Amino acid sequence: MEKGRHHRYLKPEDVARLASFEFAPKLIADGYLAGKHRTRTRGSSTEFQEYREYAEGDDPSLVDWRVYARTDRHYVRTFVHETNVECHIFLDSSASMGFAAGREQSKLDYASFFSAALAYLVVKTGNRVSLQMFDEAIRHHFPVGSTHQHLNNLLNALEKNEPGNATSISAALKRGFPLLKRKGTLVIISDFFDEPAQIFSALAGYLHRGFKIHLIHVLTPEEIELPLRGITTFVDMETQRKLVAQPASIRKAYAEAMQGHIQVLRQFSIRRGIDYSLARTDRHYFELFDKLIK
């Protein structure tokens, strides 16, 4: 984080509150918000461990040619093999996420707050975090990183992010799949206005690679309960499609349909070992961390 500069989605008071999550052992144990968990085994990490003499079968690329120039002996460099996981945040930045229902914060703002806090926690605990902002495709991809500069970049990107086009979570996940080199934790923050079957079909590849997946379903109370009165022209924020309806007459059916959709997502998640959390924008996003800790 840059000194003296306050990021929109990560305020000092939030940072102070996030300090209480730093030592969350369950999170670390679960590999979520992966804290440092090093092994003494050598690996392909970036952190230098020691030199040893080259032996047959070693990768020639690991030979330190400077040492060879000075000593005329072949030594190879070994690195600490880190077990900390990578956290990949998929942030839905489609047009529907711009829905604010008259509040100051839209669903995208809410999701950005959560993403910023999550990224901060990940970086703070020495893990690496990536950010993919998508709508019907991956609009911005920030590769994994664990530095403060990386975190700053992510926060700046979140601030500059605007709601885009129509949502296609499944398409975005499929396109993001080759971008993630290592398995890790996949956090998808979206309103999930997509076909559940297609979403989980797109997640199948990640599950196969061993990703731990969390779905954060961001919805406003208005989307869940449809409290509007009077006949209204509903304009689809993604397709601009219009529909005239009397909310009072369809409220009950709509609420049931929306609950049905949530239930479908929840049941698909349970069957595939995916964590699902409903994030109502009228609740503070910190509650999500509470749930995750539990």
Partner 1 sequence: MSFTVGNLSLIPFLLAVGIPLLIHLFVRSKPPQYAFPSVEFLHRIVRRTMRVRKPRDWMLLALRTLLFLSVVLLFLKLIFFPKAQLADLGKAREVVILVDRSASMSYVEAGQTRFASACAEAAEVLDSLSGDERANVIWVDSQPDAVFPNLGANRAFLKDELIRAQAGSEACRPVEALRLADEMLDSKGEIWIVSDFQASDWTSVDAEISSEHTLFTIPIGAEEAGNLAITDIETGPAYPIAGEEVELRCTIANHSNQQKSTTVYLNAGIARQSKEVLIEAEASAAVTFVTTFDRAGEVPVRFSIDEDAFPGDNERTALLTIQDSMIIAVSEGNPDSAAVWKNVVAALPWATLRVIDLSPEAPSPPEDVQTIIMTGWDGNLSTNVKVFHDRGGTLLWSLDSQSQSADSQWEVSAVEKPFAFEVADPSAPPFKLFESGDYGDIAAAAIIARIAKPTVAADARVWLQFSDQTPALWNVPRTADRGILIGWNMPVTREYSNWQGRVEFLPLVGEILLASRPMLDGRLWEFTPGDLVSFQSRSLPVDSQLKLSRLNGDSVGSVSAEILSGSDTLFRADIQLEPGTYTWQDEQKSSIGYSVVNFPKSESNLAPASSEQLAALGSGDVVAIRGGNEAKMLKDGIPLWHWLLAAAMMVFLLVGLLEWSAERVQESLPKEGSV
User: Footprint of partner 1 on this chain (CB under 8 A)?
Assistant: 96-97, 99, 107, 191, 193, 196, 223, 228, 230-239, 241-245, 249-250, 252-254, 256-258, 260-261, 263-264, 267-268
Q: Which of 189, 215, 183 is nearest to 86 (CA)?
A: 183
Q: Which one, 245 or 278, has the nearer CB to partner 1?
A: 245
Rounded to a whole number of angstroms, the minimum distance from the CB of residue 167 to partner 1 is 8
CA dihedral over 25, 8, 185, 196, signed as positive or negative:
positive
Q: Which one, 171 or 228, has the nearer CB to partner 1?
A: 228
Rounded to a whole number of angstroms, the minimum distance from the CB of residue 188 to partner 1 is 17
Q: Which of 45, 43, 52 is nearest to 74 (CA)?
A: 52
Q: Which one, 2 or 195, has the nearer CB to partner 1?
A: 195
Q: Which one, 111 or 292, has the nearer CB to partner 1?
A: 111
Structure tokens of 32? Answer: 């979520």
Q: Which one, 2 or 282, has the nearer CB to partner 1?
A: 282
Q: Which of 37, 18, 29, 23 is nearest to 212 (CA)?
A: 29
Rounded to a whole number of angstroms, the minimum distance from the CB of residue 213 to partner 1 is 18
Rounded to a whole number of angstroms, the minimum distance from the CB of residue 247 to partner 1 is 9
203: which residues sit within 8 A by CB, 6+ positions away? 173, 186, 213, 272, 274
Rounded to a whole number of angstroms, the minimum distance from the CB of residue 226 to partner 1 is 8
14: which residues sit within 8 A by CB, 6+ positions away? 113, 117
CB distance 144 to 88 below 8 Å:
yes
